Structure 1
Amino acid sequence: MVSGGTEPDRAPNDHHGDKHEPRPGSVRPTSRRLLVAIAVLGVAIGVTMVKAIEAGGGVAPAVSWLTLIAWAFLAALLFAAARNTHQRVQVRRERIEPSRAVFLLMIGKASAFVGALCTGVYAGFALSFLQAMGSSGPRNRVIMAGAAAVVSVLVVTAGLLLERACRVPEDPDETP
């Protein structure tokens, strides 16, 4: 399912015999650089949101325990789906329905992207309150936003593992 993809301006067989050449109809693995760029964008969004809210006379929202629990639950579900999919596809070599495989792949990719954005936003929130760490209010905001950023990284990791579990295993008996 996931092995790469052809670029529109390049023929599928530009590199004859290249073992890393993607199969037609496959999806490229999620780029780590793209995830980092999304997280950096999220930091900018988080810092800007706090500054804009406070400049308007408002109070920036705090991250709640419920948010942490929800993100942790999502990460746990994704890790479980990744493990189950890995066992079925990679270890036991079972075939799964194509629609289910595509669904799991897209859930993994989407979770990685959303998790990266939220990691950045929560990190931006934490950074916004760092200068005022001396008092308990900002300290709690930094701790909760930092914890949410860490749990969001777990969501990214679980999403990437789910995506990886959806890869079609190489068939050693397959001859080109």
Structure 2
Amino acid sequence: MVSGSPGPGRAPGQQPPRPGSVRPTSRRLLIAIAVLGAAIGVTMVKAIESGGGVAPTVSWLTLVAWSFLAALLFVAARNTNQRLHVRRERIEPSRAVFLLMLGKASAFVGALCTGVYAGFALSFVNALGSSGPRNRVITAGVAAVISVLVVTAGLLLERACRVPEDPDETP
């Protein structure tokens, strides 16, 4: 590497990650995962219907479960942020790693599901005149929005797990 060069993937003036640190989740990666999910959703509907089957609907129970998960993640993010950044408490390293990985995994799975549900909804947009496809578009669209909330909550939880620059410094 050339002296003075920021290195691969780093902007000028940006410090290299500390040993044992985890990089923040890339927004571009999440968008790419959502686009892949949309392709999967559209392909899944077309494959089922071309085989003579009827594509499944997104149940309201799914929406309730996703909403519950998003709410839990938002609460975990808020509590973690309060403990680490407001009250400057220390938490066990294993718990911090667990919360960090939960946030990252939720962001990735939420992005994939956002795409799948959006692709599913897009598959039925052309047939909005009848009630069956309209209901599918509505429930899949709501599921996609709730999945975006899961992604957001996961990213907030990941951000809350960031260790302050000088953990020994107390306000």
TM-score w.r.t. the length of structure 1 is 0.87
Query: Equivalents in 1 of 2:114, 2:89: separation in Å?
Result: 34
Instruction: State whether structure 2 residue 96 is matched by structure 1 residue 109.
Output: no
Counterparts of 1:155 and 1:169 in 2: how far apart (Å)?
Answer: 25
Residues 1:162 and 2:157 are matched in the alignment: yes
Residue 173 of structure 1 and its aligned partner are, at CA, apart by 7.1
Structure 1 residues 52 and 172, CA gap change in structure 2 (3 angstroms): closer
User: In the TM superposition, what is the alpha-carbon distance from 1:14 to its structure 2 partner?
Assistant: 7.1
Of 34, 40, 49, the match for 2:44: 49
How far does residue 22 in structure 1 lie from its aligned partner after superposition? 1.5
- The 1:82–1:138 alpha-carbon spacing in structure 2 relative to 1, beyond 3 Å, is same
**Which one of 79, 88, 101 corresponds to residue 84 of structure 1?**
79
- The count of corresponding residues between Structure 1 and Structure 2 is 162
Deviations 1:121-143 (A, max 9, x none): 00000000000000011000000
1:119 maps to which of 103, 114, 130: 114
Offset at 1:170? 1.6
Q: CA RMSD in A?
A: 1.9
Secondary structure of 1:78's counterpart equals helix
2-side partners of 1:120 and 1:150: how far apart? Answer: 10
For 2:9, the equivalent position in structure 1 comes to none
- In the alignment, residue 108 of structure 1 is paired with which amino acid? G
Q: Which runs of 5+ in 1 are unaligned?
A: 1-9
One of 32, 35, 60 as aligned partner of 2:30 = 35
What is the match of residue 147 of structure 1? 142
Deviation at 1:20, TM superposition (A): 3.2
Alignment-mate amino acid for residue 92 of structure 1:
R
Is the partner of 1:114 in helix, strand or coil? helix
Structure 1 residues 110, 42: CA separation in 2 closer, same or farther (over 3 Å shift)?
Answer: same
User: 4+ runs of 1 displaced by more than 3 Å?
Assistant: none
Q: CA deviation at 1:75?
A: 0.1
Distance 1:71-1:97 versus aligned 2 partners, 3 A rule: same
Structure 1 residues 149 and 25: alpha-carbon distance in aligned structure 2, compared to 1, 3 A threshold? same
TM-score under structure 2 length normalisation: 0.90
Distance 1:120 1:26 in 2: 29
